[in-house]
Structure 1
């Protein structure tokens, strides 16, 4: 496939800075009559009378957005639950129209189901007469409106990996020779000493990647060492086990949501570890230059790197499932909390968004050549943070509204967001910066 065809297969998404007014059309003069007409128009479209010209598909967001809905819209959504989502269908690739068309839905080969009768005039009148819901009553996902720089953690050397817990708000800054542990009081200070410093026996050991376990009671680290180190964090940090790896440098780590499987990414292969029994399950070969970063979602894991291709693999059969040629070097991979979407950070700063099992892919274009690209999804799923060299961008999901942007003085090498969505921590040249997220 040529580059032009590959680029055309992505739906381009716009990152915008101002919130879109999605209620204006419902708050204009003559609201009662307009609302009734909208209800009638939508109901007509559900029962075989399209109201837009053929081919005039509306481009929707990455996944169905949470927006302020009137009771009429909630009622219409309820009526429409059996219909395929038009926002999904409009984003599918041209060649996949048949796959996602109503005729391709399960059961269609057994004949068309009998359509339900359209709602009566009384139902339409009732829906049109319901007053709008006040803004303060509508339930919305929380997203931070801005960040406040509250502290600096003086690590002393480059911070290549960082993690922050939510239960205790301890921060772990990792780099060359040691890991420093910071308690919550240090997060709101600028020169406070760490609570502890964990020194490696091999002073040449350098931690390049770390992952907190879902329960935040354990940490695993990897880097310039032929071992992966498993740490118990409570009551005080200590080494639980050292897993003898077969590669000299671990670039990336990933942990399954049940904390049973750990993936460690090396040049040309991925190690698959059973964390409970601390045994190596498999050394899985991948393209030599396609193994800079790794992530796991459900029964698949994903790898990518310098060869510009993103690969997905089956965790049970270890067969390659997909290969996406992205034409630019892949610097980071992460998934959203639902494990349905993969976000891929490219050298060009663009963010690729792919569904884990449906053939849907999007591109959020930023147009900036960078050296470091990190992505971290908030545990609430309503936003994610992407760092591009010295810049921090916090973007709402799925609308891609830019919630805030921060510039730092030096390149950002890593980042993490606490699972309670209260703090953002970035690691750079010789320190970590702590931001409190304001809602």
Structure 2
């Protein structure tokens, strides 16, 4: 790993002008329509390989881009420049190994990294003066496709190519249980309160109750499940499909609602932390912002290639998209 300076835990308020206050009501019941009016390109992060996962931390003021050779850490401190400043490269050490996915814990204290031919899911400490691998979650011999964690970061989850979904106690770094999954490898995982949701390329959406995880609820959709995102306040999740459809799935009951359809495959999507809107990206080369609850595409920004992944910062002020060799960070203007 390339040595790195300490991560700066500051995000100056004057860097991004606040023109509205956080509403206390549910987002779409607010009197003011708090959806973006434009996106301003801020940084281009030259990862140098296809970017398979991205994350933004407004607390640490860093961006994370995941590729086959590891995760790169980019500083977003100081003046806005066309190219971001690379601080560290959390690289794989095993010959023939490759990284497929990464996941930033909600409290910004650790980054998980996993893939093929690795000893386990590596846990990188973001609290330390320099970035280092603190521990490993055991999964020897398994190929990890996707990662997730519980809201309070007490549990970490991994979806593997053989269909296994493993749950670890994150504090003890020990396996808690494996969930029985008979519908193919999970392409996406998320935890919503006491529920674990998994989507597969077979179009099957499954939900386990952590209090009684024996048999999952199952929902069949019309295409591959390429993106999952939980609404931060309401009891439903957003599902993005390979055929371009986007659905809101309640966390209880079978009644789901289609909230828009893009012309090409959706590859990733993410709710804004306040739930006013969501971001979706895909093969049509468009960064699309959709308003709640109807899913109207209120803003679209073109990029030069297909977009593989995305994330929204906790302060609702930045988004990041990952493509075939780089990532782009935008400021969200309201």
TM-fit CA distance, 1:203: 4.8
TM-fit CA distance, 1:64: 8.5
TM-fit CA distance, 1:161: 1.3
Going by fraction, where is helix more abundant, 1 or 2? 1
| 1:233 corresponds to | 126
Going by fraction, where is strand more abundant, 1 or 2? 2
Rate the CA distance shift 1:203–1:247 in 2: closer, same or farther, 3 A: closer
TM-score (norm 2): 0.85
Equivalences for residues 33-432 of structure 1 within 5 A? 65-66=28-29, 68=31, 140=32, 142-185=34-77, 188-224=80-116, 225-234=118-127, 235-267=129-161, 268-289=163-184, 291-338=186-233, 340-370=235-265, 372-389=266-283, 390-432=285-327
- Length, aligned pairs only: 305
Residues 206, 216 of structure 2: 8 Å contact kept = yes
CA distance in 2: counterparts of 1:238 and 1:394, whole angstroms? 35
Residues 194, 209 of structure 2: 8 Å contact kept = yes
Could you tell me which runs of 5 or more consecutive residues in structure 1 were left unpaired when the two chains were aligned: 1-62, 69-139
TM-score (norm 1): 0.66
Q: Which moved more, 1:249-258 or 1:192-201?
A: 192-201
CA distance in 1: counterparts of 2:279 and 2:305, whole angstroms? 17
CA distance in 2: counterparts of 1:294 and 1:187, whole angstroms? 36
Rate the CA distance shift 1:347–1:383 in 2: closer, same or farther, 3 A: same
Could you tell me which runs of 5 or more consecutive residues in structure 2 were left unpaired when the two chains were aligned: 1-25
Q: Rg: which structure is higher?
A: 1
* Aligned alpha-carbon RMSD (Å): 2.0
| 1:46 corresponds to | none
Residues 160, 185 of structure 2: 8 Å contact kept = no
TM-fit CA distance, 1:191: 3.4
Rate the CA distance shift 1:276–1:400 in 2: closer, same or farther, 3 A: same
CA distance in 1: counterparts of 2:81 and 2:97, whole angstroms? 29
